[in-house]
A and B are shown apart, each in its own frame.
Chain A
Amino acid sequence: MSEALTNTLLIYTGQVQPAEGEKDENRQLLSPYLPDEALIEAVNLAIYLKRPLLIKGEPGCGKTRLARAVAYELKLPYEAWYIKSISRARDGLYTYDTIGRFRDSQLIAAGRLKDEDIRRVEDPASYVQWGPLGRAFQNDRRTVVLIDEIDNADIDFPNDLLLELDERRFIVEETGQKIQVKEGVEAIVLITSNDEKDLPDAFLRRCLFHYIEFPRRERLVEIVKLHFRDASEDLVNKAVNRFQQLRKKMEEDKGEAGKKVSTSELIDWFHILSRDSADEALTKVDGKLPASILLKSWDDHIRYLGLMYSRT
């Protein structure tokens, strides 16, 4: 990338990591995040071209956590919108409390409200509650918006967001208020999908796309080291080896489609290991696998538990 850009624009490098124990504004522990180069490039393209970035990858490879990491490094506000099967596109922009307004007007009719309440009721804007996208659109700074698991929602959901993502404006229909993003503070939208449903073409056309590959060995070691800064080299190597053995075996058996152990499970496992003293951990890493962390279906349990144990 040319040097001239760095001066004027936001560039994500993936280098800046939170210090151990650092917390975000919601008192949630921040954890380090180690993206690969292709992902960094994709994020920077999304920032520069002001397009949403759609991220896919197997479960546990860090799709969701990317947005937080980007917001942290660039010191930008962060909004998360977790999609559920009943989510509607408008919920992300705003919700209008029609029922509340109706109730209040009934109360006025019954003469039960004071004057200052009546003033509030008369203003239709007081019933608007902004959603994550709605807040991001009105923010004076570029905001990182995470739209998590967009494929959970109805198949038409992404299409309903086209105009908002494309032209970065929307209208609050109840009040007629127009919301338009100011030039230069366009939200950085990161969207994750678990590939449960196919997304509509019109939506895909507007997104940039990146598939997060499973990290290679060196990267896994780096990731573990970053999460557990005082872990011994030996332990990290052994754990990663053991983990990769298991994963390889799963790959052979299940092929592309099945659920395999992934990065997040490695970190969980290592978390358990690092509780013990160094010597104990070293013996444990060769011993029985903690089934509740790595083997999450009964089939896996039967198949790999015995196998991994007898091999060592």
Chain B
Amino acid sequence: MSVENLPLQELFTRLRKADLPLGIEEYLLVLHALQAGFGISDRKALKCLCHTLWIKSVDEARVFDYHFEQLIPRPPKSETSSQPLAALPEQSETQSDTPSPLSSSKLSTSDPPSPTTVSEMTLRIEDEVQVAQAMKQSASNEDEILSDRYISSDEYFPVTRRQMKQSWRYLSRPVREGLPTELDVEATVSEVGRRGILLEPVLVPQRINRAELLLLIDHGGSMVPFHMLSRRLVETVLRGGRLGKADIYYFHNYPGEYLYRDHAHQEYERIEELLNGPYSKQACVLIFSDAGAARGGYSLERIDLTEKFLKQFKQRFRYIAWLNPMPRSRWPGTTAGQVMQSIPMSDLSRRGLDDAISVLRGRPSHYKAQIS
């Protein structure tokens, strides 16, 4: 395995496509390190080097391992002269197939990756495939939607984790709260002006984000393909670390009398109690549901109940938005088409998510203007 012939660039491109935050600088960094003699002793060392320089989390490491196994051929086991033995003990997940003698220069994509990584990968992408399939099935009678980007592109999720996190960051309501630690220069100066001498500086608490978010998630039934997406929403809300308070509630199809704290509907809370709960009037409510657009039905009962629930919530909370995982073109003629008349509804794309969040910040929706 000579350094010049390594398919590093291919590996790099694939990782970029898999949404790893890598730039040209990172690529040069690896070359730089290789030139300095790091990671050239064997395959394991190279893997270790790329890991350190390109990977920033355990999740990314899985993606990396998969592509690395595919692109960089394992040294044939019979050959002992040039390949140090150190590369061997690492491969505990012994390959069942005997690797054919590969010419080291060949970029071998046909090399079968080890079985464990494949199953891991399929696990990871399974949900994304489900989303794509759900969209495909529901759209199968209309051919023009098949050409939609959801199916043609290899990035099945319309919004990545990073983009979600970035969007959530806009949801902020800074309030001064907590221990006074920051110097209020103006107040201090005017205090000095009043007393003629500085006795004590005036301190004020730091600004912290007091934005409250209630995320209501439709779970089960037609939402099954989007569970991965809703999980990502929850994950990014909670781990974004920005919001003052974020509560997640689940319901099925439409919220009836109860909302549930877990998606298995074990722990319930009456909607009335929730409305009397410790939320300020400025708390934001974001509903994530297909509103019947996934199956494409039109149900008067569902419309009635949804609107009743929305009315209840609108009386209590000032900012409510709806996020629909189905593409906008699938709404008309379904229950969703009716529901969107009474609430700003966005589809789950980057723009849609940003739009929903700007509604929660008290700005008008872009889409509403288009409808009227």
Contact = CB atoms under 8 A, between A and B. Distances in A.
Interface string B5-39: 00000000000000001110110010011001111
A38 B197 contact: no
Contacts of A199: 56
A110 B198 CA distance: 11
B241 A41 contact: no
A211 B22 CA distance: 18
A106 B192 CA distance: 10
Interface size class of B (residues with CB under 8 A): 35 or more
A255 to B, nearest CB: 14
A275 B22 CA distance: 52
A2 B162 CA distance: 39
A198 to B, nearest CB: 5
B209 to A, nearest CB: 9
Interface stretch (B44-52, B71-79, B282-290): B44-52
B241 A44 contact: no
Contacts of B38: 1, 41, 44-45, 48
Contacts of A208: 52-53
B239 A103 contact: no
A157 to B, nearest CB: 11
Contacts of B183: 98-99
B55 interface: yes
A91 B26 CA distance: 29
Contacts of B58: 56, 211
A42 B52 contact: yes
A110 B52 contact: no
A201 B37 contact: no
Contacts of A155: 240-242
Contacts of A42: 48, 52
A163 interface: no
B197 A41 contact: no
A45 B181 contact: no
Contacts of A103: 198
A201 B241 contact: no
A119 to B, nearest CB: 21
Nearest to A53: B52
B190 to A, nearest CB: 14
Interface in A88-144: 98-99, 102-103, 106, 110
Given A38-B48, A45-B52, A198-B165, A1 B26 contact: no
Contacts of A210: 51-52
A19 interface: no
Contacts of A204: 21, 56
Given A198-B241, A211-B61, A86 B181 contact: yes
A2 B48 contact: no
A2 B58 CA distance: 29
B201 interface: yes
Contacts of B45: 41
A106 B45 CA distance: 63
A54 B56 contact: yes
Contact of B57 (A2, A44, A51, A209): A209
Contacts of B56: 54, 199, 204-205, 207, 209
Contact of B52 (A99, A201, A209): A209
Contact of B197 (A98, A106, A201): A106
A72 B25 CA distance: 32
Interface in A157-188: none
A197 B197 contact: no
Nearest to A44: B38
A98 B182 CA distance: 12
Nearest to A208: B52
Nearest to A51: B29
A205 B28 CA distance: 13
B289 to A, nearest CB: 26
Interface in A54-105: 54, 56, 86, 98-99, 102-103
Contacts of A196: 241
Given A45-B53, A110-B197, A209-B55, A197 B239 contact: yes
Contacts of A54: 56
Nearest to A155: B241
B358 interface: no
A197 B5 CA distance: 39
Interface centre among B23, B25, B56 (most CB of A within 10 A): B56
B3 to A, nearest CB: 12
A45 B49 contact: yes
B181 A198 contact: no
Nearest to B39: A41
A199 B241 CA distance: 10
Contacts of A56: 57-58
B117 interface: no
Contact of A41 (B52, B162, B201): B52
Contact of B206 (A86, A198, A201): A86
B45 to A, nearest CB: 7
Nearest to B55: A209
A170 to B, nearest CB: 21
Contacts of A5: 36-37
Contacts of B197: 106, 110
A98 B192 CA distance: 14
Interface of A: 1-2, 4-5, 38, 41-42, 44-45, 48-49, 51, 54, 56, 86, 98-99, 102-103, 106, 110, 155, 196-199, 201, 204-205, 207-211
Given A38-B48, A199-B56, A205-B25, 9 more contacts: A1-B37, A41-B39, A45-B33, A48-B33, A99-B183, A198-B240, A204-B56, A205-B22, A205-B26
13 contacts: A1-B41, A38-B51, A41-B38, A41-B49, A42-B52, A98-B183, A99-B201, A155-B241, A155-B242, A198-B239, A205-B25, A208-B53, A211-B58
Interface of B: 21-23, 25-26, 29, 32-33, 36-39, 41, 45, 48-49, 51-53, 55-58, 61, 162, 165, 181, 183, 192, 197-198, 201, 206, 239-242
Q: Which 3 A-B pairs have the closest CB atoms?
A: A2-B37, A197-B241, A204-B56
